[in-house]
Structure 1
């Protein structure tokens, strides 16, 4: 905040730096869609009415003998002003400074850094952020806000004024009615919005679903259609909450606009579900899946959840209790007739009705995704690309729906060798080879590392498909997903891997003879490495690679250790098993080496190579490089 200058009850304050950035980027990025400023301001007015209605449940005097809530639009062509006023909750001086001078969202600095890096996507990203009140500056070169909080005296009203540059002024004024009046001083080139026809068109498009009346000041006309010189207020929207209407009466466009009102997102939703339930429970839910991930989706502490209404009365935004964390990208509302009107977040936490509604909303959300996956693969791929990593948190969080979530998961695979995650577990199982009873998978830091892993050599040779997992969360996911469709998952980097089912008797016999002949080399390698490895074994799953390291069946894998370390936890040391390929030239060269010192150099080189391939690093790089250099020399 910059230095403040005060004169009597008027002070000038500097905008928070993030607000300055937002104003600048928004005015330049959203100019092509400038009419949304009216949608945002009417949406805010509707929220203010909702908040007053809720507060008045326990403080009826807040209505001040005026319980007919609504929004009014008027314009003055001579002055070049457009006014949007409401008689909702209003704001105190402190609230004006808090809401109109700062952005109190966690992660805003990271968000604006992202805007700078991806300028071509600024419009879309700003839309996700939700610009609200500041959208007024898209069309206005100055904005004045007169507001009085419900329940406060007339002389405690506040005027806020800014030209959208570096600062704004705040002063005390008198205001007879409660609520907020926003006066937009339109730029010369934006005078198109000083037209009744234009305003009606915008409200019809964006705000018909608002649950309170939106009125416009219009000229009175006589029987012959001539203006009388008087003005009257005319309602221009249905003023019925959209979710209370019959589904058959609601158009797709209305659903889409209501989504934008609920979410403050500019993009169209991907899919929605409107559901009315009567019986043991009585509620309505309207759930949306966005088409783009929210900018703060990976911040599990950021606010998320559904809007909660009880008997059509707005209770709270971001009611997290109705959706599990792995579905935090869902948007929409729930309107319950069973919860008490004085419900609080604390009461919701342990309420049986809440738990039942949470189960129902979770099931509905998963069913929406399942239907989309079955009926529109392209749209579902969009959903997965945006929200897949969050959905992968599901099996660990929601045991009851683990099987449903598993059907929704998508992975990369050796079937396509594409980085796109578009292979379902059902499709994998359908392609399994005769005699295959496990779903094989590999986790790695990147898709390239997974695709080129030496562990895949025999799988490719035998035509066995392997899921290639390269998201940070995959190791955590697989720790909570033991099987699918009766088939157990098998990490191909584990020591208990057995591919003998896919070998003929001749091959098995040959491998047995080779292993017996190679036993002395195994013992010699064990003796050299000592406690540095858990064990040394021969393996026949390799073709072009001399050695790999694997972990024991119940030991922590490399990716899980990295995941814990990245989260700041102390991960136990991973002790590897070194597997040598007795049919590889380099291993045979090592086996033929009589000199113990030279033999040791070969072991160091092969172990170092295997560790680099598995985890990208070796414990002692100088020892590894020294061995390589000596062998080369």
Structure 2
């Protein structure tokens, strides 16, 4: 009989209280997932046990047969999940089961939509799987002892999920963790052998450790079975059998596996309810031998934009678990990929530091990266709808790739998708290969415009000449776009050109006659240009005639190497200092306002009109006026003159 000491009652953090309330009162759509989550946690504990025992075999305490046990008591209405994994110390219990630090509940709560069916599927993706026990239990008891600690330093954690928990020292002979769920009224269905077995096979069939349950004599009649249940068995008399396949799925041949098995394994390793979009299973032999099973998720994880968040593949060496989140095998822009890699070329005593220096790791990283890029290219080619779904979730992360992975830049560029003037919608569906294939005869550049949003981009005055000529322009609106384009130089021999920068030269798309006409028009407006320069010199670097406009009176053009407006806004919002540069003011000689301005004799009125046109050009580009009050004053003054 065990004794308990150092008992204390502690309160959950606020976010955990909110989560427990939701678990108990709202998220019932998939209540059976509690078993999958608890078994997955037990499996993780067993994997950690095996890993730590590589350097300290004494942690096994004479029992190296790792497993998970599931049992039930119909009379007591309890379900018990027990493992002989690494276990937890008292402080680890407090950290993992009572605070926000390890649970991820804040992010979980922020992603709730109010739809019970959808919200319940979030469980597991946010590290809150343990709390799913309260969906079916009104009290949960956890008995645990960390491997290597004395029997007397075991811990008993207990809670009714109502805002607080108690924790006390106890005794536990076996290492590992035992979780006892006291089922709520109406949840007795889970205190049933057949029900539990079916759930284990459904959700946990592919975990690497056997899930054991008491062997049942299915040949007994109902009366005999009842009598057998009433006969108390000693632990020595209880026979257990594995109810899952307990086979490392990635080690099996692809010909032996079906899609459902692949999907089930993905859900096990990712804690995701949705099926994966695609996967790639490969075994490579030769100088570098490895097996990989890589998955492309359907949805982005909540922490996708946290570049410091734990990520990576499950690493095995000769089928021995080494690391749960090995981030050395894929670049950061592919951080959403899930899966396992098992290599025979890495030593069993490998550590994080050794992994980083091992040349075989670099080879594996290169091979796995190309494998993922090939999987994405295949998806884009064979299923445009699925790829569009992928791009919507992960496109902005892929855009980090060209700068981070020069060796695979060409492959990454072919995966990029953009909105364009030809697509007509904000959906990013145009690839660079598609763009190049329909370029105008004589067109030598890939044109694009960067803006804060789709409407600003598609209505940019800089696009007017391109629409007139039927030249497609890519519309870039993601925050990362300008930074990404600064890293790109060409694609299939075609250079990239921001239509808002530098002097416009359409090359052979324009005829010699058109070019001569532009020069003649510019000469006719030389006097106007000279009048505008001193008026606007405080705000612009130059004034010139443009041929890029057909409908607008004027526009602002940046220098070839100037920072774009979008990047300036991002850096200013982050408190970063930005270069002090001035744009070029270009005027449309064909526009009635410019012609009227040329005829204006009153110099004060001329200056006001020039400033108004400059402010309008700034607004049309998505900029913010430095002196809105002055703009309003000039505009009101003009309106009063017109109405007089």
Same fold (TM over 0.5): yes
Partner of 1:94: 91
1:302 aligns with 2:309: yes
Partner of 1:44: 41
Distance 2:83 2:131 in 1: 17
Partner of 2:508: 501
Determine if contact 1:305/1:319 at 8 Å carries over to the other structure: yes
Q: Does 348-357 or 125-134 show the bigger shift?
A: 125-134
Partner of 1:54: 51
What SS class does the counterpart of residue 525 from structure 2 fall into? helix
1:85 corresponds, among 82, 85, 104, to: 82
Deviations 1:73-106 (A, max 9, x none): 1111110001111111111111111111123259
Distance 1:350 1:521 in 2: 66
* Structure 2 gap segments, 5+ residues each: none
1:413 aligns with 2:420: yes
Partner of 1:155: 152
Deviations 1:368-401 (A, max 9, x none): 1000000000100010000001100111111111
1:278 aligns with 2:285: yes
Deviations 1:337-364 (A, max 9, x none): 2222222222222221111111111111
Partner of 2:120: 123
What SS class does the counterpart of residue 185 from structure 1 fall into? strand
1:329 corresponds, among 316, 327, 336, to: 336
Partner of 1:401: 408
Determine if contact 1:500/1:508 at 8 Å carries over to the other structure: no
Determine if contact 1:107/1:296 at 8 Å carries over to the other structure: no
Deviation of residue 251 (structure 1)? 2.2
1:214 aligns with 2:211: yes
* Alignment size in residue pairs: 627
1:243 corresponds, among 234, 241, 250, to: 250
Distance 1:517 1:107 in 2: 67
Distance 2:567 2:221 in 1: 80
Deviation of residue 627 (structure 1)? 2.1
1:610 aligns with 2:617: yes
Determine if contact 1:130/1:265 at 8 Å carries over to the other structure: no
Partner of 2:592: 585
1:199 aligns with 2:196: yes
Distance 1:235 1:500 in 2: 73
Shift of the 27–313 alpha-carbon distance from structure 1 to 2, 3 Å rule, reads farther
Deviation of residue 630 (structure 1)? 2.1
Deviations 1:237-283 (A, max 9, x none): 12221111222222222211211221122221111111111211121
Q: Does 226-235 or 395-404 show the bigger shift?
A: 226-235
Distance 2:562 2:431 in 1: 27
Distance 1:216 1:433 in 2: 69
1:164 aligns with 2:161: yes
Determine if contact 1:455/1:493 at 8 Å carries over to the other structure: yes
1:485 aligns with 2:492: yes
Distance 2:358 2:573 in 1: 36
Distance 1:557 1:80 in 2: 66
What SS class does the counterpart of residue 31 from structure 1 fall into? coil
Partner of 1:358: 365
Distance 2:109 2:260 in 1: 31
TM-score (norm 2): 0.94
Distance 2:268 2:101 in 1: 20
What SS class does the counterpart of residue 442 from structure 1 fall into? strand
Determine if contact 1:457/1:542 at 8 Å carries over to the other structure: yes
Distance 2:545 2:11 in 1: 71
Deviations 1:419-447 (A, max 9, x none): 11111111111111111111110000000
Distance 2:580 2:136 in 1: 60
Determine if contact 1:147/1:157 at 8 Å carries over to the other structure: yes
Query: 1:124-143 alignment to 2 at 5 Å?
Result: 124-143=121-140
Partner of 1:625: 632
TM-score (norm 1): 0.95
Distance 1:59 1:431 in 2: 64
Shift of the 73–126 alpha-carbon distance from structure 1 to 2, 3 Å rule, reads closer
Distance 1:585 1:505 in 2: 26
Determine if contact 2:12/2:164 at 8 Å carries over to the other structure: yes
What SS class does the counterpart of residue 397 from structure 2 fall into? helix
Distance 1:240 1:157 in 2: 31
Partner of 1:4: none
Distance 2:103 2:241 in 1: 41
Partner of 1:3: none
Deviation of residue 147 (structure 1)? 0.9
Determine if contact 1:160/1:168 at 8 Å carries over to the other structure: yes
Partner of 2:100: 103
Deviations 1:309-329 (A, max 9, x none): 222222222211111111111
Shift of the 222–612 alpha-carbon distance from structure 1 to 2, 3 Å rule, reads closer
Distance 1:65 1:446 in 2: 63
Determine if contact 1:458/1:541 at 8 Å carries over to the other structure: yes
Distance 1:69 1:126 in 2: 26
1:426 aligns with 2:423: no
Distance 1:590 1:403 in 2: 49
Distance 2:177 2:117 in 1: 35
